[in-house]
Amino acid sequence: MVKRHRWWMIFVLLFAVPGFAGSPDIVLKDFNGSDSNVSEHIGKGKWVVVVAWAHDCHVCNQEIHHMVFFHNEHKDKDAIVLGVSVDGIAKKDKARQFVERHGLGFPNLIAEPEQAVMMKFGAGSFVGTPTYYIFSPGGTLLAQNVGPVTQEDIEAFMQSDAAKSALAAERG
């Protein structure tokens, strides 16, 4: 219950601030070294949970399985997960080991560990990992959370009255 209230509080802060509509235009690298824009994944009719992680983040290593379960359960229906490693290209091999070790079957991109890059997701300063950004099916950033989040937390947020109100406003 505490986590659900935390999501709602952050949701209210984001929803009240103009300029969070539309998918962010952020070009990152995939693990093959090719450019990939996060907008290729966001605003395509499904909820998107972006999880920023690092290979040496204890909480990320403990909790990322929740995103694997969430993605596997929702990918063919209503939501996907997009991983963003903040390890940077210099630590790509360590990040790749993280992906393989945890069996991350969702797309993962690599960002440089720079404040300016992560701020483009639209929720202000980047505090650390893991950080979760929840985008509506239309591409509007609705929530952000720093720290552990479970599959149940995200599902509860997607079904919350606050999220439903935001979707209705997004549809006009």
**What are the sequence ranges of the domains in the chain?**
2-163
Instruction: Name the pTM for this structure.
Output: 0.88
User: Residues, the chain, total?
Assistant: 172
For 55-69, 78-92, 139-153, which range has the lowest pLDDT when averaged over its residues? Answer: 139-153
CB-CB neighbours of 75 under 10 Å: 14
Give the pLDDT confidence of 118-130 residue by residue, as tens digits.
888 887 788 899 9
Confidence of residue 166 (pLDDT cuts 50, 70, 90): confident
3-class secondary structure, 45: coil
State the amino acid at position 19 in one-letter form. G
Strands (E), the chain: 27-30, 35-37, 47-53, 79-85, 108-110, 131-135, 141-146
Q: Indicate the average pLDDT of the chain.
A: 87
Does CATH number 1.20.1080.10 belong to domain 2-163? no
* Burial grade of 2 (CB within 10 A; 0-12, 13-18, 19 or more): exposed
Residues 6+ apart with CB under 8 A from 74: 46, 47, 80
Q: Which residue has the higher pLDDT, 62 or 163?
A: 62
